[in-house]
Amino acid sequence: MFTQGSVAPGFEKVAEAFAANFEDGLELGASFAAIVDGETVVELWGGYADRGKSRLWDRDTLTPVYSTTKGIAALVIARLVDEGRLDYEAPVADVWPEFAANGKAGITLAQALSHQAGLCGFREEIDPALWLDPPALAAALAPLAPLWPPGTASGYHPLTWGYLAGEIVRHATGKSLGQHLADDFCEPHGIDFWIGLPDEEHDRCAEIQKPKTSPQLGELTELKKIAFLTRWSAPDRGGALWRRIEIPSANGHGTALSVAQLYHVYAGRGQLNAETLIGPQAFEALTRTRIDNDDLVLPARVQFAAGVMRNVGGVYGPNPHTLAHSGWGGSMGLGDPDAKMSCAYVMNRQDHYLQGDPRARRLIEAVYGSL
C-alpha cells in the first residue's frame, strides 16, 4: 500500500510510522499532518476513500472527525469570550433563559463546556431524528433535570455537548457556531475545515467503515448507557443531512492538515500565522483545568478545560500542558504550546478506542521522537 505526501528533513520516522499502520493492516484510508512553529513539517495521506477500494484517498479528501470537532468548537467560543460576547463564569441561562429549568439556573458556561452539566444524554426515549434537527434537540435538552448535581463531577457528553454549545452561541450572537468558525478562523487562513458541510463539498468525503465492537467503556453504568448505548443515543450518521447540519460535538469535516492548523492555535497560545485569534486572558481561561476526576461516562481519569482535554497519562505525548481531543473511531488533534507543535490524524476505518488509538499513538511518538 503506497502513501503520498511530504516530510521535512528529520521527520522521516513519521512517514515510516504512517506506512507501518497500512502495512500492519490497520488502515483503509488515512492522513496525518504536523506543524512546528507555523511550518508544516509533515503532510501524509494514503489508502482508499471508500469501502469498496475504488477511490484513492487524496490530499483533499474530507473526513468526519467526530469528537475531535469539540476542541475546534471550543476555540470559537473562546474567541467570543475574548470579544466579551460570552463569559465562562456566567450562567448559561443568561443568554439562553429556557436552560434554567429544573435546577440548571446556576450552571456556568465553563461547567457546560467541561461536561459538568449533567446532560450527557436522554434517560427517556426520544425520536432519534431529533439529532438531525439541532434547534429541536436543544429545545428538548433545555427542560431536562441534570442526571447528577452540576459542578460536582464530569460525565462526558458525547453528542449533547455540541447542541449546548451551538445553542449558546446562537442565542448570544444570532449567528451559528459553524459560521463563526468559517468567518473568523477558516476563511481568513485558508483552512479546509467545516462544521456544517456545504452540499458542493460532499463528493470529497471519505466513506466510514464502522468498528465491529462497541466503544471501550469499562463497567457499564446507567450514565454510560444513556450517553452511548440506547437506541436513541445517536443519529443516523453519514447521510447528506448529517453532513449539512451543524453538530459542533461530532460532525466537523476536514483534512488532517486543516485539523492540525486549527489545533495550532493551542500550540500558539491563541495565535495562528502571527495573528492573535484569542487573547492571553481568554486563552488561559479556555485551557486551564476546570475538572480533574474519574469521569462518570468515560472509563478514565480526565482533565477537562473549557471544551478541550488536557493531556493525562501521556495519551497525547509527553507534555502535560498539551491540549487535545480524540474522535469516535480514532481521529485526534493536539496542540503543544511548549513544543510549539500541533498534529492531527484522521482516518475512515474506525476502531473501538475513544482515545489513545494505537495508530495515532504510533504517529504521535514518531513526531515527538523527531523534534
Tell me the residue ranges of DSSP E strands in the chain. 3-7, 29-36, 39-47, 63-64, 193-195, 252-254, 271-272, 275-276, 291-294, 301-304, 309-310, 323-326, 332-336, 341-347
What 3-state DSSP class applies to 212?
coil
The string of pLDDT tens digits covering residues 4-34 is 999 999 999 999 999 999 999 999 999 999 9
Where do the domains of the chain lie, and which CATH numbers do they carry?
A: 3-68+180-370 (3.40.710.10)
For residue 45, the tally of other CB atoms under 10 A from its CB is 24
Q: What is the pLDDT of residue 215?
A: 79
Query: 1 pLDDT band (50/70/90 cuts)?
Result: low
Question: What average pLDDT does this structure show over 103-109?
Answer: 98
pTM over 0.85: yes
